[in-house]
Structure 1
Amino acid sequence: MADEESQPQIRTTSEAWESLFRTQVAVMRRMQQLPEFKKLAMREYDVLFNLSHCPTGWTRLNELNEALLISQPSLSRMVERLEAKGLVQRRTAERDQRGIEIALTEEGRALQQEIGRVHVRHLHEMLAPALSEEEFRQLQFLTDKLRTGIKDR
């Protein structure tokens, strides 16, 4: 009987996930067409964005990888490309000589901020017509709650 009662909940969970996923796909497709990503690929910008939020400025490669939807080998190659462009720098981890830490260079920070300023305006233009300010707050609350619930398991 408990299995029968859970079927509507399972369906609701599945439908909510499908809606969230399809919305994310639609938004990401539109974002890829934005002019700011002509200077730097969206995934590369995501690396710079995440590095810009590191409290000490430096983070281990594996910690950065947890925030991104990219494999560790792909991230390593991307960091090499960003380093060759002068946007990030690497060093041996202070606490563990086997680890690698990375940080933005001044040029990388400047590019992240330049793209970021344009990007938030374009995001607003794309998304603001769909929801009210209160609905955006609710959406943020719900997605934060969902992400926290997943991390806690």
Structure 2
Amino acid sequence: MAESSSPDVRTTAEAWESLFRTQVAVMRRMQQLPEFKKLAMREYDVLFNLSLCPGGWSRLNELNEALLISQPSLSRMVDRLEKKGLVLRRTAQNDQRGIEISLTDEGRALQKNIGREHVKHLHSMLAPLLTEDEFGQLRGLTDKLHSGLKND
């Protein structure tokens, strides 16, 4: 069995560029979808990540780790989402200096509604382009990359 070699710099850069350009193309199409007229895609991303919290609450700094926005931008976004009645904010239970965020019932319902539409549109856009096995390979590769980056 042949030993696999590490890729050269060019191969790494080209693969990253391909992954990045593909994500940009998908995101541009997604931004045009009707569900993201109800709520901006970045705001939806906050609701989606909150929906994944096991205890229902997330510290602001922990939530920020899952998002591609700055802490001050997230704070302002949470202010807007709170004014819309989609999230609740409280002082952290075990650290009075921290802030925790949770979905309201209205926020949870909106996230589920947009999420269902989002998944349908994503499927109709991408499913014709790859086979089931290819999606499995893609998932395996991106999970491997993500896991490796999280361990650093």
TM-score bracket, normalised by the shorter chain, equals over 0.9
Residue of structure 1 in register with 2:9 after alignment: 10
Matched to 1:114, the amino acid is N
Residue of structure 2 in register with 1:67 after alignment: 66
Deviation by residue 1:81-119 (Cα, 9 ceiling, x = unmatched): 000000000000011000000000000000000111111
1:9 Cα deviation (Å)? Answer: 1.2
Matched to 1:75, the amino acid is L
Establish whether residue 78 from structure 1 lines up as the match of residue 74 from structure 2: no
Residue of structure 2 in register with 1:22 after alignment: 21
Residue of structure 2 in register with 1:146 after alignment: 145
Q: Please, what is the CA RMSD of the aligned residues?
A: 1.2
Matched to 1:9, the amino acid is D
For normalisation by structure 2, the TM-score amounts to: 0.95
User: 64-73 vs 131-140, which deviates more?
Assistant: 131-140
Whole-angstrom distance in 2 between the partners of 1:77 and 1:10? 39
1:19 Cα deviation (Å)? Answer: 0.4
1:77 Cα deviation (Å)? Answer: 0.2
Residue of structure 1 in register with 2:107 after alignment: 108
Matched to 2:145, the amino acid is L
Matched to 1:17, the amino acid is W
Residue of structure 2 in register with 1:99 after alignment: 98
Matched to 1:151, the amino acid is K
1:133 Cα deviation (Å)? Answer: 1.1
Residue 39 of structure 2 aligns to a residue whose secondary structure is coil
1:25-44 residue pairs with structure 2 within 5 A? 25-44=24-43
Gaps of 5+ in 2: none
Deviation by residue 1:108-152 (Cα, 9 ceiling, x = unmatched): 000000111111000000010110111111111100100111111
> What percent identity do the matched residue pairs reach?
80
Whole-angstrom distance in 2 between the partners of 1:119 and 1:25? 16
Deviation by residue 1:18-77 (Cα, 9 ceiling, x = unmatched): 100100110010010011000000000000000000000000000000000000000000
Establish whether residue 127 from structure 1 lines up as the match of residue 126 from structure 2: yes
- List, as ranges, runs of 4+ consecutive aligned residues in structure 1 with deviation greater than 2 Å: none
Matched to 2:60, the amino acid is L
